[in-house]
Amino acid sequence: MGAALQVVDTAPLKQTADLELSVIIPIYNEEDNIQPLYASLQSVLPSLGKPYEIIFIDDGSKDRSHQVLKSLNASDPHCKVIRFRRNFGQTAALAAGFANAHGKVIITLDGDMQNDPADIPMLLAKIDEGYDVVSGWRIRRKDRFLTRRLPSMCANWLISKITGVKLHDYGCTLKAYRREVAQNIDLYGEMHRFIPAMASWMGVTVAEVPVNHYPRRHGTSKYGLSRTLRVFLDLITVKFLLSYATKPLQIFGTIGFVSSFSGFALASYLSIDKLVFKHALSDRPILFLAILLMLVGIQFISMGLLGEMMVRIYHEGQDKPIYVIKDILE
């Protein structure tokens, strides 16, 4: 992604090693919302008494968003602007923000003024209690019911059931992360909404707090029903990554074994039927089903073995561990 973006930076007021807080805000055609959002942040962040940075990700905006962000960057050393060459989507924007964040705690929020920066202290308080991820819950969401809230309710229920991480509102961008959690998650597709579920693989603690939500006043929403299918497909990917990423043979091998065993059982039955009872098999489609099941089973087992080899090459080639250490006491 490094070749796809241009970073405009200024010297922060504190050394990056001393930063306590990074606020990441994806921006796509939000020229009328940026200044009010910045003013809201300025009414909250300085009062926290923590060294902070604000990272705006210009996700290929076609309006005057970049000009507005550029002026903020020039006037406030806390502001950093990362500009994409084209629109890559919110997941890519958050990934770029995580990669360039230096704060010990990372806050993400939307750039459309529907999230309330006044809720940031509440999220930080939960982080101070020891949680690794704190997710906002838009308990009184101000969006259309049929096109936004109803699909979101169904998706939240399904994601919670499949991943085992119980949250009411996966789609709320307003979240807080410890930096070591956010920067150890590889994001692609539409997976930004699954970050708490993906982080659960590390054994993190996740909390959820009710947050404010306001109707959009300027600009137009970038979300719609067309995202539902993509979210569902990414959910399948997340489930696989959480359960079988390091042991693909267990899922493919299981399917292959069941298929092969079923085919072998049918073939055995047909063999006995032919040899003992002298029934003809040439006009019985079940014979072809038995052969197909055995072949499919062999293919699935082979896929599992190939997957195991790819996982081994991936982890050994990149020296990527299959575990995450929280701390070491010496």
SS3 sequence of the chain: CHHHEEEECCCCCCCHHHCCEEEEEEECCCCCCHHHHHHHHHCCCHHHCCCEEEEEEECCCCCCHHHHHHHHHHHCCCEEEEEECCCCCHHHHHHHHHHHCCCCEEEECCCCCCCCHHHHHHHHHHHHCCCCEEEEEECCCCCCHHHHHHHHHHHHHHHHHHHCCCCCCCCCCCEEEEHHHHCCCCCCCCHHHHHHHHHHHHCCCEEEEEECCCCCCCCCCCCCCCHHHHHHHHHHHHHHHHHHCCCHHHHHHHHHHHHHHHHHHHHHHHHHHHHCCCCCCCCCCHHHHHHHHHHHHHHHHHHHHHHHHHHHHHHHHCCCCCCCCCCCCC
Instruction: Output the tens digit of pLDDT for each of the chain's 330 residues.
Output: 333 434 334 344 456 667 999 999 999 999 999 999 999 999 999 999 999 999 999 999 999 999 999 999 999 999 999 999 888 888 889 989 999 999 999 999 999 899 999 999 999 999 999 999 999 998 888 777 676 777 778 888 888 888 888 888 888 999 999 999 998 887 877 778 888 888 887 889 999 999 998 887 776 766 655 666 677 777 777 777 777 777 888 888 899 999 999 999 999 999 998 899 888 887 888 989 999 999 999 999 999 888 888 877 766 676 666 555 545 444
Domain edges within the chain:
2-244, 248-317
The fold for domain 2-244 equals Spore Coat Polysaccharide Biosynthesis Protein SpsA; Chain A (3.90.550)
